Amino acid sequence: MKGDPPVELRVILGNTRRMRNRLNFKRLKSRSLILGFWFSFFLFFDARNVHAYPNTIGYGYGSCTTCHFNSNGNGPLTDYGRALFATAIAAKPWIQAFGKTDEELGSSSGFLGRLQLPSLIRPFMGFRGMALVSDIESGSLSTRVIPMDLHAGMVLKAFKDRVFLSGTAAYSPPPVGSSESDSPTWITREHILVVRPWKWLEVGAGLTDVAFGLRVPEHPAFIRSWNGLSMNDQSHGAWMTWSGRSGQLTVHGLTGNFLQAADLRQKGVSATGEIEVAEKIRLGASAMSTTNDYRGRLLGAIHSRIGFTEGTSVIAQVGVNRESPVLTSLDETLGETFFLQSTFLLKRGWNLLFSFEQGTRDVLSGVQYFRAGPTLQVFPMQRLEFRFDLVASRLMGAEQVDPDRIALQSQLHLSL
């Protein structure tokens, strides 16, 4: 069998070819109904802000489990995910150290390239940094280089991936603008033990992202940062995920992050589910109720992921967030967030995205925030991503509108 692509790669290459002819026009009618439903919903609720990396629905991949060890996405890639990245998502590299054909690229997609590690060990590393140019609208540019994340970890797996342990350690820079001298330098964002006794059931425990809504990579997005789902907001807990051909449901019991003081831990429960209503059309809903000694949070959201032709998709999420102070007689606040992102495949490895966000922290304040802009996302080869976001932000008060603020975010993401 030496020289043959691995089974996973053969499956990927077959899938990729089939995807090009996948659009089923017989289902256009049902798609129209679904789109009509969402359009009506947004109009009715004056919908705000939605977002996601779950845009792989554009490649026909509805479930995160296909490519990620974590069934709700993010984190280390499976062998299949690595091979897919190399053979379908990223461009064919100019440097041909990893091969020329898709078969060779897929076979070289492991942590050590062509050198295969024992099946029970899957190490990974990653770096993400940004050059931020802000105040473009004023003409007096301000530039900052921000090392956002440097992490390393390992997945230990056995029984044909039915049992695995995944852990990471990461360098976490102090938050932008922080004046705290004791900000932590190292952090762990995931350490989980997962058991999949059957294909349709997963049981896991440990520290991981909270199962709620679209898990987009843009951590400042309102649907993440305002909902307490940002890059360091993981929680310990246990979860069960039921998966099937037509959808997925996760219920996540949350104990808060044990590495944080007990009174700050947000304890409660979240649930997120998604159903495939037609080919490459998924609708989902999420709910979460948590509290610590100081504030309670109740969140709800619905989302959609719609794939069109290969690599082209639209994802959206709208949600509400009620915060209730525990200790004080302060009023509750009700906020809302909306995220919408379209992805167009220009050519293999080159994507053009457009994002629109809207949100308010307190619907009674009359203050709304908007963000919108295009993104050029380039994967010149597997393991490497460049991303250029032009972001316009606007704050709109009850009586006046602020002028737009414009920033250019240039990101480098390296993953091994």
Partner 1 sequence: MRSLLLSAPLILMSLALLSSACGEFEPTNSFSQDQELYQAIAAIDTTTDAGARFSAARDVFERKCTGCHGLVSHSFHVYEEGDFVGYYVTAGDSGSSRLYRYLKGSGLSPATMPEGASLSTEDLETLKDWIDGLE
| DSSP-assigned beta bridge partners for residue 241 | 202, 250
The least distance separating partner 1 from the CB of residue 161, rounded to whole angstroms, comes to 11
If one asks whether residue 369 binds partner 1 (CB under 8 A), the answer comes out as: yes
Residue 345, CA atoms < 13 Å, CB-side half-sphere:
20
If one asks whether residue 157 binds partner 1 (CB under 8 A), the answer comes out as: yes
Q: Rounded to an integer, what distance in angstroms lies between the CA atom of residue 223 and that of residue 371? A: 12
The helix or strand, by DSSP H or E, that contains position 236, with its residue range, turns out to be: strand 235-244
> In the numeric block, which tokens belong to residue 45?
């609720």
312 to 331: interface string for partner 1, x by CB under 8 A: -------------xxxx-x-
- Among residues 231 and 381, whose Cβ is nearest to partner 1? 231
If one asks whether residue 220 binds partner 1 (CB under 8 A), the answer comes out as: yes
Contacting range for partner 1; rule: CB under 8 A; set: 63-71, 97-105, 126-134, 358-366? 358-366
Identify the burial level of 384 via C-beta atoms within 10 angstroms of its C-beta, where 0-12 means exposed, 13-18 middle and 19 or more buried: middle
Residues 164-203 that bind partner 1 (CB under 8 A): 165, 167, 169, 172, 174-180, 183-184, 186-188, 191
- Among residues 62 and 167, whose Cβ is nearest to partner 1? 167
Instruction: Tell me the H-state helices in 236-320.
Output: none
Total chain residues near partner 1 (CB under 8 A): 66
The least distance separating partner 1 from the CB of residue 169, rounded to whole angstroms, comes to 7
Q: Rounded to an integer, what distance in angstroms lies between the CA atom of residue 199 and that of residue 390? A: 42
The least distance separating partner 1 from the CB of residue 251, rounded to whole angstroms, comes to 22
Per-position b or e across 93-130, b if 16+ CB within 10 A of its CB: beeeebbeebbbbbbbbbbeeeeeeeeeebebbbbbbb
- Among residues 164 and 239, whose Cβ is nearest to partner 1? 164
If one asks whether residue 108 binds partner 1 (CB under 8 A), the answer comes out as: no
Q: Which residues contact 258 (CB under 8 A, 6 or more apart)?
A: 207, 236, 265
Contact 248, 232 (CB under 8 A): no
Q: Which residues contact 136 (CB under 8 A, 6 or more apart)?
A: 406, 407, 408
- Among residues 24 and 365, whose Cβ is nearest to partner 1? 365
Binding test (CB under 8 A) with partner 1, winner from 7, 33, 112, 121: 121
276 to 295: interface string for partner 1, x by CB under 8 A: ----------------xxxx
Judged by the rule CB under 8 A, the positions of this chain that interact with partner 1 are: 118-121, 154, 156-159, 165, 167, 169, 172, 174-180, 183-184, 186-188, 191, 220, 225-226, 228, 230, 232-234, 256-261, 263-266, 292-295, 325-328, 330, 361-362, 365, 367, 369, 395, 397, 399-403, 405
